[in-house]
Structure 1
Amino acid sequence: MKRGRKADGAYNPWWAHNQAILRRRRPKIEKFQASTALRKFVNDKLQQHWSPQQISRQLARHHAGDPVLNACPETIYRALYNGLLDKRTAKLRTARTRRRKQRRGIPLKNAIPRMRLIHTRPREADNRSMAGHWEGDLIIGKGYASAIGTLVDRATRYVRLIHLPHGWKAPQVRDALAEQTAQLPAALRRTLTWDQGRELYLHEEIEDMTGFRIYFCDPHSPWQRGTNENTNGLLREYFPKRTNLARYTAHDLAQVARQLNERPRRVLGDRTPAEAMRDWSTALAYD
């Protein structure tokens, strides 16, 4: 405030603010443009695969009283990204040449609203004690232009494939799931666990249309729906990666699902998923 006072000693915040702007004298000469010694030191250390943090600490240690030969890590990163260092030799160990986008504290615009996370899923789904708790995902075709929805029951390993002839954005996935699971008895539409893919952005509408209660895995945690991951691996024998999945019809998908469901599984005591699901359906009918 003392520096911002007028000649007569009076203080006016607006006047002081304008004086501060004038004193800033921007733009200033970049530190790396002004000092050849600093550029050479940083270039040499980057060639030796030092990180900007290590270089900054070394400068502070050996040139503590010289502000010209001191630079914080951010200043070094900025000089590197702005081309103020030798482009041929001055490189990060990661070989990154541009700054990653920073989103700290900013809510993701595309995040799925009101997700119900897997940690709140019913115990009977976790311990596989009852049929009707499913895991779901998509297998993606060449160029991300086509997809097939995959559902597998956690208790019986019974597989259903969802035909997506009109694309795999949220509205198409919503409609396909509602239409192609409608024939399942309500008792076999208990929960559905998915990853945090945008194709399930309309999960609340899917719940209203199907009766499933939908849960989401943690980010980057495919093991939380391991049954589905294993099933997708089996399905890749029929639908190889980098192929156009749009050429498969609903009949083709039903044939593949039938083959998997009629294959005996050790985890089921060498019963087939079809047999296990049939037993559950019978039990539920008597209940």
Structure 2
Amino acid sequence: MGRPGRKRRLALEDEYWKLMASGVGTVEACRRLGIARTTGYYWRSHRGGLARTVRAEDSRSGRYLSLLERERIAVLRGQGCSMREIARRLGRAPSTISRELGRNMRDGDNDVYQAGLAHARAREQARRQRRSIFARDEQLRAVVQDKLRLQWSPEQIAAWLKTEHPARPDWHVCHETIYQGLYFGGSRGLTRQLARNLRTGRGLRLRRRRPQSRRPRFSAHARTIDERPTVVLARQRVGDFEGDLILGRHGQSAIGTLVDRTTRYLRLVHVPEQRRGEDFAAALASAVEDLPRIARRTLTWDQGAEMARHDLLAELFDEGVYFAYPGSPWQRGTNENTNGLLRQYFPKRANLRDYSISDLRRVEHLLNNRPRKILSWATPAAAFAAQLTR
């Protein structure tokens, strides 16, 4: 059997992207379509991991005129209705009708609006591949690529272009345009290899699950951050902790982090090799059991599997254990910032099992006794102690 022709190949690729959009993985999609796994990987790589754009004739959003609307325009135009009257009857902006008629009532059409011809033109225009701004403007492409080589983020580059070149509005591209130029490679004008200079270093864009599609991890009832006492938001008392794990190389090892929202006082949790619910709950309990009751009011964590037995920790925190929503790290911003500081001592590529409990206590001491601008240059340890004596 010979190789499939170009049309057959394009049809297969369309089916592949439809399966990917429905949540099917690359391997399974290739199996269903009867193509080699390497073919699917090639299609993904060629498009930077981004789904193929759905063809205009397959799916039209409400912002575009439909064939039925164009037919109504033709009838109303033939009855002598004004553009504003046509717009009112169709529920469209007058400018939309004006542009539609301006595009499709030309001298060659004898000043007659033909709905079918106008619709065919619109579909053809939507299918047409447009050259990106980086493919058209070599100077802009060179400037953007120079900044990418300096490891600037696309958002920084977009802001810099507007600031440094106010008289060049055609250069005022948004950061998403730069991302598209990188991940689509040659078809969008930028060098694909420069994607490695981004902070993530990813050569492909990853599809992410929507938070509401994620399955709950806990069998015991878990209270969300919305149920947390409002006084926690004020940061006026001690004992409201945020927590998370920092992971080591390939996610095979971890250290638990606990930080007080008000004083930034830190406690580190030596995580057992098996991060099962009961084992982790015991490790976390041993890390905070020496704190006075007034310093153990609430705990806010993400929905990690390590907290599957959060019910075992309920008695340790007088006002309860709460969970941020999936994919919402900003709801634990104090903890996220602290985790960034900890990476100075626990690099991402390290095996965190190599650090003993005494190593964790040493890092705790260093950070708790480091002056912090947020505390008016007081140390977290001093601020924590001062709060306990109030």
Shorter-chain TM-score range: 0.5 to 0.7
More displaced 10-residue stretch of structure 1: 119-128 or 260-269: 119-128
Q: Secondary structure at the match of 1:234?
A: helix
1:53 CA drift (Å): 11
1:200 maps to a residue whose letter is M
Matched, 1:232 2:339: yes
For 2:71, the equivalent position in structure 1 comes to: none
Matched, 1:260 2:210: no
For 1:137, the equivalent position in structure 2 comes to: 244
**Do 2:303 and 2:323's aligned partners in 1 also have CA atoms closer than 8 Å?**
yes
**Do 2:236 and 2:262's aligned partners in 1 also have CA atoms closer than 8 Å?**
yes
More displaced 10-residue stretch of structure 1: 246-255 or 161-170: 161-170
- Residue of structure 1 aligned with 2:384, choices 273, 277, 281: 277
Q: Using the alignment, how far apart are the partners of 2:8 and 2:267 within structure 1? A: 59
Matched, 1:205 2:316: no
For 2:9, the equivalent position in structure 1 comes to: 43
Q: Can you give the 5+ residue segments of structure 1 that lack an aligned partner in the other structure?
A: 1-37, 56-73
Q: Using the alignment, how far apart are the partners of 1:184 and 1:144 within structure 2? A: 30
Q: Secondary structure at the match of 2:256?
A: strand
1:270 maps to a residue whose letter is W
**1:126-179, CA deviations, whole angstroms, 9 ceiling, x for partnerless residues?**
121211100001112224332211000000001011122443221111001112
Q: Secondary structure at the match of 1:208?
A: helix
**Do 1:150 and 1:162's aligned partners in 2 also have CA atoms closer than 8 Å?**
yes
For 1:195, the equivalent position in structure 2 comes to: 302
2:347 maps to a residue whose letter is P
Change (3 A) 1:174 1:86: closer
Change (3 A) 1:44 1:53: closer
**Do 2:16 and 2:29's aligned partners in 1 also have CA atoms closer than 8 Å?**
no
When the two structures are superposed, what TM-score results if normalisation uses the length of structure 2? 0.49
For 1:83, the equivalent position in structure 2 comes to: 33
Q: Using the alignment, how far apart are the partners of 1:43 and 1:126 within structure 2? A: 56
Percent identity over paired residues = 41
**Do 2:217 and 2:304's aligned partners in 1 also have CA atoms closer than 8 Å?**
no
For 2:197, the equivalent position in structure 1 comes to: none
1:41 CA drift (Å): 3.5
**Do 2:298 and 2:317's aligned partners in 1 also have CA atoms closer than 8 Å?**
no
- Residue of structure 2 aligned with 1:124, choices 215, 218, 231: 231
Change (3 A) 1:252 1:89: closer
1:87 CA drift (Å): 8.0
Q: Using the alignment, how far apart are the partners of 2:10 and 2:341 within structure 1? A: 52
2:241 maps to a residue whose letter is W
**Do 1:137 and 1:195's aligned partners in 2 also have CA atoms closer than 8 Å?**
yes
**1:217-240, CA deviations, whole angstroms, 9 ceiling, x for partnerless residues?**
111111110111111111111011
Superposition RMSD in Å: 3.6
**1:176-203, CA deviations, whole angstroms, 9 ceiling, x for partnerless residues?**
1112211111111111110000100001
Q: Using the alignment, how far apart are the partners of 1:200 and 1:114 within structure 2? A: 12
User: Counterparts of 1:76-225 in structure 2 under 5 Å?
Assistant: 81-84=31-34, 94=44, 108=215, 110-209=217-316, 211=318, 213-225=320-332
For 1:16, the equivalent position in structure 2 comes to: none
Which is greater in Rg? 1
Aligned residues: 219
1:82 maps to a residue whose letter is R
Higher share in helix: 2
Q: Secondary structure at the match of 1:82?
A: helix
1:113 CA drift (Å): 3.6
**Do 1:43 and 1:86's aligned partners in 2 also have CA atoms closer than 8 Å?**
no
Change (3 A) 1:176 1:39: same
**Do 1:146 and 1:244's aligned partners in 2 also have CA atoms closer than 8 Å?**
yes
**Do 2:368 and 2:380's aligned partners in 1 also have CA atoms closer than 8 Å?**
yes
When the two structures are superposed, what TM-score results if normalisation uses the length of structure 1? 0.65
Q: Using the alignment, how far apart are the partners of 1:224 and 1:242 within structure 2? A: 26
2:9 maps to a residue whose letter is N
**1:5-62, CA deviations, whole angstroms, 9 ceiling, x for partnerless residues?**
xxxxxxxxxxxxxxxxxxxxxxxxxxxxxxxxx986442456xxx745999xxxxxxx
Q: Using the alignment, how far apart are the partners of 1:255 and 1:221 within structure 2? A: 30
Q: Using the alignment, how far apart are the partners of 2:335 and 2:365 within structure 1? A: 16
Q: Secondary structure at the match of 1:238?
A: coil
Change (3 A) 1:81 1:247: closer
